[in-house]
Amino acid sequence: MRMGLIRQLCRVLTWCSMIILGVLPLLPAAEMVRTDLPGSVEHFT
């Protein structure tokens, strides 16, 4: 029973991540938050 719950939770989190990754690129550039990190590190993160 516990493995089933963990597996279902992983599926839900995976779908949430996919939705977030699909929506974030649609945000306007003015809404982007930039850090002081180099561009390659920021891109990787």
Average pLDDT, the chain: 88
Q: Which pLDDT score is estimated for 12?
A: 97
**DSSP state letter for 11:** H
- Contact (CB, 8 A) for 35 and 42: yes
Per the structure, how many domains does the chain have? 1
State phi, psi for 9 to the nearest 5 degrees: -65, -40
Q: What is the pLDDT of residues 1-39, one digit of tens each?
A: 688 899 999 999 999 999 999 998 888 878 777 888 888
Print the domain residue range for 26: 2-44
CA 28 to chain centre: 17
Distance CA 35, CA 3 (A): 39
Give 42's contacts (C-beta < 8 A, 6+ positions apart). Answer: 34, 35
